[in-house]
């Protein structure tokens, strides 16, 4: 059992992207049970929902029973997804689960019924790498945390930073960032965008790129599998520093998860150094009561006055009117009223369009 097992991978999850992992790998049987360790496993069940894995190019690929998948040990705590953690020990033959589309692997303890129970992932071994050319002694592949996270500073001079916060996950934050990216770009600005909290995944930041961001950055760029209250502030600083190097006119940031989630959003908003560089905070909410809670939390817990409200609560004017009536805040739908939303934000941060649409 000491000799490594060589396997061909059918799918390689994007959570491994800092590996990098090749399709043909050797597997070791001594597995460290800690976040960041790359493992391979065989899928044992079929699913009709949430049945894809995001690969290292950001493409969603169908997963089927028998597939050998490479993923990364980690945790997740998703209201509309899976809850799970890295167990105390991991060995070949153990049955774990795929907790995210990026192939974060852990022991699922709870799941949203809309997604069904997760994929069963029979552990085959730890993915081994040969870091030095010609070296015959393999080492376990690990997604390592970047030294950038140890830098506590922010640049002295920053452009306006617009932040998207939400009441919950899947509340329209990425959609709003993307449409704002497009509007800022169409107004003649160099706009960059990133995601500071959540779980390692390429899809959201790649979508920001598709909408026109000249540079994107996210937690996965710094070896973070899932943000926590202990590392979210460092991750936010690293994302801001990376994006600021492009000398943009404006930085758009998404805080993944909700204000009361466990991924560290609250810790970012409590950090005075970070909070003072935020020029505008936009709230995404699903309904008027959620909007009330979000606006109240931002004001009373973090001392932040919300600029504008968007998200599903603005899908029709009934919800938007309730927000405007109750809070005296503008409320616009990012998909249908992107220009109006952008106009409010630009006015708040003191930006005038460089070019105007005919």
Could you give the CA distance from residue 194 to residue 207 in angstroms, rounded to a whole number?
A: 10
Distance of CA 307 to the CA centre of its chain: 23
Could you give the CA distance from residue 86 to residue 74 in angstroms, rounded to a whole number?
A: 6
Structure confidence by residue, pLDDT tens digits, 164-212:
999 988 889 999 999 999 999 999 999 999 999 999 999 999 999 999 9
Q: What is the number of other CB atoms lying within 10 angstroms of the CB of residue 155?
A: 12
Structure confidence by residue, pLDDT tens digits, 108-166:
999 999 999 999 999 999 999 987 666 677 899 999 999 999 999 999 999 999 999 99
**Segment 238-245 mean pLDDT:** 98
Position 355 scores a pLDDT of 82
Could you give the CA distance from residue 207 to residue 211 in angstroms, rounded to a whole number?
A: 6
- Percent of the chain having pLDDT more than 70? 97
Written out in words, the top-level CATH class of the domain with range 148-349 is: alpha beta
Pick 19 or 64 by higher pLDDT.
64
Could you give the CA distance from residue 115 to residue 134 in angstroms, rounded to a whole number?
A: 45
Q: What is the number of other CB atoms lying within 10 angstroms of the CB of residue 169?
A: 17
137-152 per-residue burial string, b: 16 or more CB within 10 A, e: under 16: ebebbbbebeebbeee
∠ CA 128-136-25, nearest 5°, is 30
Position 357 scores a pLDDT of 63
Could you give the CA distance from residue 348 to residue 223 in angstroms, rounded to a whole number?
A: 34
Domain ranges for the chain, please list them: 5-143, 148-349
Position 119 scores a pLDDT of 98
List the structure tokens of 37: 């360790």
**Segment 234-252 mean pLDDT:** 98
Position 235 scores a pLDDT of 98
With contact defined as beta carbons under 8 Å apart, do 50 and 108 qualify?
Answer: no
**Segment 240-263 mean pLDDT:** 96
Structure confidence by residue, pLDDT tens digits, 21-52:
999 999 999 999 999 999 999 999 999 999 99
Q: Count of alpha carbons within 13 Å of 78, Cβ hemisphere only? A: 28
Position 1 scores a pLDDT of 46
């Amino acid at each position: 059992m000491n000799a490594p097992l060589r396997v061909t991978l059918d799918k390689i999850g994007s959570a491994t992207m800092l590996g990098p992992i090749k399709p043909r790998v050797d597997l070791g049987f001594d597995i460290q049970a800690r976040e960041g360790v790359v493992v391979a496993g065989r899928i044992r069940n079929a699913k009709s929902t949430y049945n894809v894995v995001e690969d290292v190019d950001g493409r969603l690929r169908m997963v089927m029973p028998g597939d050998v998948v490479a993923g990364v040990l980690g945790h997740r705590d998703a209201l509309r997804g899976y809850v799970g953690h890295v167990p105390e020990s991991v060995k070949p033959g153990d049955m774990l689960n795929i907790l995210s589309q990026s192939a974060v692997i852990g022991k699922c303890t709870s799941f949203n019924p809309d997604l069904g129970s997760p994929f069963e992932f029979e552990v085959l071994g730890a993915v081994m790498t040969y870091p030095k050319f010609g070296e015959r002694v393999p080492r376990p592949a690990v997604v390592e945390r970047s030294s950038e996270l140890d830098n506590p500073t922010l640049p002295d001079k920053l452009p306006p930073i617009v932040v998207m916060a939400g009441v919950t996950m899947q509340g329209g934050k990425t959609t709003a960032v993307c449409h704002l990216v497009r509007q800022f770009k169409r107004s003649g600005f160099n706009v960059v965008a990133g995601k500071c909290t959540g779980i390692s995944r390429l899809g959201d930041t790649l979508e920001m790129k598709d909408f026109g961001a000249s540079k994107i950055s996210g937690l996965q760029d710094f070896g973070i599998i899932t943000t926590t209250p202990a590392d979210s502030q460092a991750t936010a600083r690293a994302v801001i520093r990376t994006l600021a190097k492009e000398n943009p006119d404006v930085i758009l940031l998404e805080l993944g998860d909700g204000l009361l989630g466990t991924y560290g959003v609250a810790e970012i908003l409590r950090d005075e150094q970070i909070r003072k560089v935020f020029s505008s905070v936009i709230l995404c909410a699903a309904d008027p009561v959620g909007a009330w809670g979000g606006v109240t939390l931002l004001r009373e817990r973090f001392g932040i006055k919300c600029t504008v409200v968007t998200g599903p609560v603005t899908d029709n004017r009934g919800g938007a009117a309730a927000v405007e009536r109750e809070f005296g805040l503008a409320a616009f739908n990012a998909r249908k009223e992107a220009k109006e939303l952008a106009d409010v934000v630009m006015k708040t941060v003191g930006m005038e369009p460089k070019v105007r649409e005919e």
